[in-house]
């Protein structure tokens, strides 16, 4: 991703120790309950999966990884938090509230990046909602629309997509044109391709710089990992 990420690889053992300690007893339930795409076989172990994630992240430049995805926080922050999410995933709705609080506490120190990961095999509204959110983003309202979809997750469908867009006073002609466009499909497929490269198995999935964090991880794990990465960056000057 950049030179900082390369240097941070030296502290990977420390970060993995923290992650392992906080996730003892939680890993099996997470694997059971997180939805799966079932398109790519999972890596043989968490360590093997982390190696894949590190290789993909550190071999790709930052601008390419972020692309045109919606972001929050400091664009120049040395710490980037990626979230791969599905608007129809109930676990993503819970995580959205927790992560908003975490990002809000570190908005000057983190760049938060949303990546679409619609689980179309099990969620019929995953793709339509992702395209609607993308279209809202073309008018600068992705995050408000994002929140509206999660708050009203039980109502996902055409009526809600129109209702939210009208409530936000979006240009409805543009909104409907954008969500039906080839550009919307391409943007979401680009996120899905990255998720496949990273061998992600379910939603939500988080990556902080190049460290993979289980989707059901407690808020204190994000805080602990952030503190350790931040300390590593400072120690490297």
Number of domains making up the chain = 1
Q: Is residue 33 part of a domain?
A: no
The pairing of beta strand 205-208 with beta strand 110-116: unpaired
Q: Is residue 14 part of a domain?
A: yes
Q: Is residue 173 part of a domain?
A: yes
pTM: 0.85
pLDDT, tens digit, 9 for 90 and up, residues 214-227: 877 888 899 999 99
Q: Is residue 229 part of a domain?
A: yes
Q: What is the pLDDT of residue 29?
A: 38
Q: Is residue 231 part of a domain?
A: yes
DSSP per-residue codes, 211-233: EEE-TT--HHHHHHHHHHHHHHH
Residues of the domain holding 226: 3-22+45-235
Which residues contact residue 28 at a Cβ distance below 8 angstroms, ignoring those fewer than 6 apart?
none
pLDDT, tens digit, 9 for 90 and up, residues 8-18: 444 444 454 44
CATH of the domain at 229: 3.40.30.10
3-state secondary structure of 96: helix
Q: Is residue 216 part of a domain?
A: yes
3-state secondary structure of 110: strand
| DSSP strands (E only) in 117-233 | 205-208, 211-213
If one compares 199 and 17, the residue with the highest pLDDT of the two is 199
71 pairs with which residues across the strands?
Answer: 113
Q: Is residue 29 part of a domain?
A: no
Buried b (16+ CB within 10 A) or exposed e, 165-183: beeeebeeeebbebbeeeb
Region 106-131 average pLDDT: 97
């Amino acid at each position: 991703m950049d030179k900082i990420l390369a240097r941070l690889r030296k502290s990977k053992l420390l970060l993995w120790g923290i992650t392992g300690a906080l996730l003892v007893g939680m890993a099996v339930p997470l694997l059971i309950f997180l939805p799966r795409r079932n398109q790519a076989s999972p890596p043989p172990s968490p360590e093997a999966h982390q190696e894949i994630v590190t290789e993909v992240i550190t071999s790709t430049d930052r601008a390419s990884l972020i692309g045109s995805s919606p972001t929050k926080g400091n664009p120049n922050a040395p710490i980037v938090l990626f979230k791969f999410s599905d608007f129809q995933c109930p676990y993503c709705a819970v995580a959205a509230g927790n992560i908003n609080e975490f990002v809000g506490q570190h908005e000057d120190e983190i760049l938060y990046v949303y990546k679409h990961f619609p689980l179309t095999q099990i969620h019929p509204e995953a793709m339509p909602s992702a395209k609607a959110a993308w279209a809202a983003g073309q008018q600068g309202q992705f995050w408000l629309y994002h929140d509206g979809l999660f708050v009203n997750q039980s109502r996902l469908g055409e009526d809600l997509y129109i209702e939210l867009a009208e409530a936000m006073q979006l240009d409805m002609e543009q909104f409907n044109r954008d969500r039906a466009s080839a550009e919307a499909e391409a943007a979401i497929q680009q996120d899905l391709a990255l998720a496949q490269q990273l061998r992600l198995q379910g939603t939500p999935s988080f990556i902080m710089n190049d460290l993979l964090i289980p989707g059901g991880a407690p808020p204190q794990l994000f805080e602990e990992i952030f503190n350790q990465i931040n300390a590593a960056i400072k120690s490297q000057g």
